[in-house]
Amino acid sequence: MELFAPFEPHATGRLPVGDGHDLYWEVSGNPDGPVVVFVHGGPGAGTAPAYRRFFDPRFWRIVLFDQRGSGRSRPHASVEANTTPHLVADMEMLRHHLGVERWLLFGGSWGSTLALAYGETYPERCTGFVMRGVFLFRPQEVEWFMTGMGAFFPEARRRFLDYLPEAEREQPLASFLRRLNHPDSAIHMPAARAWCGYEEACSRLLPRDETGDGDGPATLALARIEAHYMAHDGFMRPNQLLDDLYRIRHLPAIIVQGRYDMVCPPSSADDLARAWRGCELRVVPDAGHSAMEPGIRAGLVDAVERMKMKIRRP
């Protein structure tokens, strides 16, 4: 299945959530339909117009928002008061603000992490979950990102580490974090380019030659906020998402997972699906991590279409 044709939001706004942060949000689609909320990845990646197109605008009331420090939210690339509990509380505040009773959670990569964290905190506000590239924020998943991907993309990891002085390459996360949080753009932007270049090189089954706008504002937000969360274990208890899964296990869930996802390997999706009775795991045999790879894109659209039959209207 292909993405739906482009369409525009019918409402946009900003929501002050405290600590000096305000979030960009938008609503599109059917004003009277069941609600789906797009939970973006990163953390720090932000939303884009194409993300509306996973959803049938004739059926769904579609909510997109940029998390703290991300996209069009302000202040940009800020890690102050930026933790998983903050983001969960922000989502609940946004739900109240928009007058939503219950919503379907749609998230990939870090978006799956945050969707699960929100759902386990507010299970009564969820109708179900569609997830891609599951990331449970366990230590082995962070270690895989920092080290394991290099087994398949050695040249990308070599470029990543070569950015750092040789003496700092044993602890790359701490070394990158210091540079990414430095106030001087001459220091934090090269570090952000190196971080994002590494992730981008590992994100697709067939890597692209170009890496996009390496000097754009999204580069700093993604790198700085992602490293911030990795350095703090996702601001969650060890194994929190699996331990608290009983709170949402009664809800429908579909996972679309690339067989060759090198950023979020299939083992995490498998662990989640085995612990979640009734969860459907669909492995795409010719895909990596990116939501826009053809097989992942089609699988996500199909999953949301089939969720129409699994949820009740609010």
Please report the pLDDT score of residue 217 as a whole number: 79
Distance of CA 13 to the CA centre of its chain: 21
Q: Which residue has the tokens 């996702």?
A: 234
Report d(CA 213, CA 288) in Å as an integer.
21
Please report the pLDDT score of residue 295 as a whole number: 97
Angstrom CA distances, 233 to 4, 141, 169, 200, 239, stand at 36, 10, 20, 22, 10
**Are residue 126 and residue 52 in the same domain, yes or no?**
yes
For residues 53 and 4, is the Cβ–Cβ distance under 8 A?
Answer: yes
Share of the chain above pLDDT 90, in %: 94
CB atoms inside a 10 Å sphere around CB 246: 12
Encoded tokens for 236? 């969650």
pLDDT band at 215 (very low <50, low <70, confident <90, very high): low
Boundary of a domain, candidates 180, 208, 233: 233
For residues 38 and 64, is the Cβ–Cβ distance under 8 A?
Answer: yes
For residues 163 and 288, is the Cβ–Cβ distance under 8 A?
Answer: no
**Are residue 63 and residue 121 in the same domain, yes or no?**
yes
Residue 307 one-letter amino acid:
M
pLDDT band at 27 (very low <50, low <70, confident <90, very high): very high
Average of per-residue pLDDT across 250-264:
98
pLDDT band at 233 (very low <50, low <70, confident <90, very high): very high
Global confidence as pTM = 0.96
Boundary of a domain, candidates 181, 199, 233: 233
Encoded tokens for 100? 């939503």
Please report the pLDDT score of residue 193 as a whole number: 97
Tell me which of 86, 261, 268, 290 is the catalytic residue. Answer: 261
Tell me which of 21, 40, 86, 289 is the catalytic residue. Answer: 289
Distance of CA 59 to the CA centre of its chain: 24
For residues 241 and 136, is the Cβ–Cβ distance under 8 A?
Answer: yes
For residues 177 and 228, is the Cβ–Cβ distance under 8 A?
Answer: yes
Q: Does residue 313 have a pLDDT over 70?
A: no
Average of per-residue pLDDT across 57-64:
98
Share of the chain above pLDDT 70, in %: 97
Q: Is 21 part of the annotated catalytic residue set?
A: no
Give a yes or no: residue 6 inside a domain: no
Report d(CA 201, CA 286) in Å as an integer.
17
CB atoms inside a 10 Å sphere around CB 154: 10
Query: Range of 216's domain?
Result: 140-233
Boundary of a domain, candidates 190, 210, 233: 233
Q: Is 268 part of the annotated catalytic residue set?
A: no
Question: Number of structural domains, the chain?
Answer: 2
**Are residue 152 and residue 229 in the same domain, yes or no?**
yes
**Are residue 65 and residue 125 in the same domain, yes or no?**
yes
**Are residue 252 and residue 122 in the same domain, yes or no?**
yes
Q: What is the mean pLDDT of the chain?
A: 95
How buried is residue 54: exposed, middle or buried, by Cβ count under 10 Å (0-12/13-18/19+)? buried
**Are residue 38 and residue 79 in the same domain, yes or no?**
yes
pLDDT band at 314 (very low <50, low <70, confident <90, very high): very low
**Are residue 120 and residue 253 in the same domain, yes or no?**
yes
CATH number at residue 96: 3.40.50.1820
Strand-pair category, 35-39 with 126-132: unpaired
Q: Which pLDDT tens digit goes with each residue over 108-154?
A: 999 999 999 999 999 999 999 999 999 999 999 999 999 999 999 99
> 7 φ, ψ to 5°?
-150, 160
Q: Is 261 part of the annotated catalytic residue set?
A: yes
Q: Does residue 213 have a pLDDT over 90?
A: no
Please report the pLDDT score of residue 212 as a whole number: 44
For residues 262 and 177, is the Cβ–Cβ distance under 8 A?
Answer: no
Tell me which of 109, 175, 203, 290 is the catalytic residue. Answer: 109
Going by C-alpha positions, the residue among 29, 36, 41 that lies closest to residue 291 is: 41
